[in-house]
Amino acid sequence: MEIIAEHGQTLLIMACIFGLFMAWGVGANDVANAMGTSVGSGALTIKQAILIAMVFEFLGAYLAGGEVTSTIRKGIIDTNALAETPDLLVFGMMSALLAAGSWLLIASIMGWPVSTTHSIVGAIVGFAAVGISVDAVAWGKVGNIVASWVVSPVLAGTISYMIFRSVQRSILDTEDPFRNAKKYVPYYMFVVGFLIAMVTILKGLKHVFKDMGFSLSIVESLGLATAVGVLVALFGILLLRRIKEVKSEHNRFASVEKVFAILMIFTACAMAFAHGSNDVANAVGPLAAIASVVSTGGEVAAKSVMPSWILLLGGVGIIIGLATYGWKVIATVGKKITELTPSRGFAAELGASATVVLASYTGLPVSTTHTLVGAILGVGLARGIGALNLSVIGTIFISWIITLPAGAFLSILFFFFFKGVFG
C-alpha cells in the first residue's frame, strides 16, 4: 500500500506509456486480420485499407470496446491472491504490457502475424507464476487458450474451404460466371451482413445496450442480424447493377472478381469495427486494472469499469501502429500464404467471421489471427496443396508456438526489474 501511495502517479504515467506501446503493437500486427485479405486480393490498395481501418478500428475500440472488463485479462489469475499486495499487481500488469508490446514489435518487424491475445496472456501467466505463486494461475483457462491454437484455424479453414468450393461450383466453374455471380452474390452478401452483425452484437455492443438499460436475447440478436443481412443484400443488388461485363482474353473472371471486390470493401469496414471493439481490451484491460488500483489507493477489484480516456488511448495507439508499421504483416497475410483474389479473400473473411460468431456464442477462446490465417489456408487448399507457400506457413506456426513463452519470459524480466526499482 505504501508503494502505491508514494509512487502511484509515476506508475500510472508509466503504465499509460506501456499501454500505448501495446496498442501500437495491436495496430501494427493484429489489424492484418481485418485488412490483409482485402489488400492481398486487390479489392483495396494498402493506403485505402489503412484509411478504412484507421476509421473503423478506432470507432470499434472507442464506441464498442468499453465493456466492463475483468481486472485480469480472461480471468487467468485469481485476484484474491493479490488482495494484500496490490503493488505486485501493478508491477505485473506494467510488465505484461511492456513484454507483450515488445514481442509484438519483434513479430511485426519480422512480418509474423501473431496473436495479441496470446501475447498478453503469456505475459500475465509469466509474472503471476514466477512472481506471485504457481497456484495463482488458472491453468485450466490457459489450457483452453492453448487448445484454441488448433481449434480456431482448423474450424475457420474448414468453413472457408466449403464456402470457396460453393463459389467454385455455383459461379466460377459454370458456363456463364458473370451472370451466376450477379445471381448468387446477393445471397453471400446476406450471409456476410448477418455474420458481421452477429460478431458486432455479441462481442462489441453488449455494454452499449447495457448502458441504455436493456440487453438483447439470442433470438432478438438473430432478428437484428437478419435485418442487417437483408439491408446489405439489397444495397449490394443496387451496386451490382452498375457492374457491366467486360470480356477479357487473359482473365475470364475479371468481371466476376469486380463483383466480389464490392463485397470485400464492406467486409473490410465491418471486420475492422468488430476487431477494434474486441482486441483493444488486450492493450487497455491491464491499464484499466492499474488505474483502478492507483485511484482506490491499493484496492484490488475483481472487475473494473473502463474509463473513456483509456479507450481513447487504446484507439489512438491502434491507428498509429497501423499507419506506421501495419503494412508488413498485411503483406504476409494478404500475399505470402497463398495467392488471393476478391472471391478467395471473401471466402476467407466469411469463414473467419463465422468462426468468431461461433466462438462468441459458445465461449470458446479463439485468436482472430489464428482464425484468419486458418481461413486463408482453407481457401488455398481448395485449389490444391501446391497453391500454398509451405515455408511461410511453417514460419507462422513456429511464431505462434513461441508467442506465449516469449511473452512470459519478457514479463518475468520486467517484473523483477520494476520490483527492484520501486520495491
**Total count of domains within the chain:** 1
Picking from 79, 85, 107, the residue whose alpha carbon sits closest to that of residue 415 is 85
Range of the domain at 267: 2-147+177-329+404-422
- Read off the pLDDT of each residue in 119-130 and give the average, rounded to a whole number: 92
Q: Is residue 67 part of a domain?
A: yes
Looking up cell 507464476 gives: 129
The secondary structure of the chain in percent helix, strand, coil, rounded to multiples of 5, reads 80, 0, 15
As given in the structure block, the three cell numbers for residue 74 are: 480472461
Q: Is residue 37 part of a domain?
A: yes
**What residues are paired with 304 via a beta bridge?**
69
Q: Is residue 388 part of a domain?
A: no
Calculate the average pLDDT of the chain: 85
- pLDDT band at 353; cut points 50, 70, 90: confident
Query: Under a CB-based contact definition with an 8 Å cutoff, are residues 250 and 332 in contact?
Result: no
User: How many Å apart are CA 295 and CA 304, to the nearest integer?
Assistant: 11
User: Could you tell me how far CA 91 lies from the centroid of its own chain?
Assistant: 26
* DSSP-assigned letters across all residues of 151-214: HHHHHHHHHHHHHHHHHIIIIITSS-HHHHHHHHHHHHHHHHHHHHHHHIIIIISHHHHHHTT-
Report angle CA 247, 250, 256 to the nearest 5 degrees.
Answer: 50
Q: Is residue 165 part of a domain?
A: no
Q: What is the pLDDT of residue 68?
A: 44
User: How many Å apart are CA 244 and CA 188, to the nearest integer?
Assistant: 20
Q: Is residue 243 part of a domain?
A: yes
In this prediction the pTM is 0.85
Q: Is residue 110 part of a domain?
A: yes
Q: What is the pLDDT of residue 64?
A: 66
Selected residue with higher pLDDT from 367 and 100? 100
- pLDDT at residue 181 above 60? yes
Which residues of 205-254 form beta strands (DSSP E)?
Answer: none
**Lowest mean pLDDT: which of 49-58, 91-100, 301-310?**
301-310
Q: Is residue 49 part of a domain?
A: yes
Q: Is residue 229 part of a domain?
A: yes
Most confident of the following: 90-99, 144-153, 361-370:
90-99
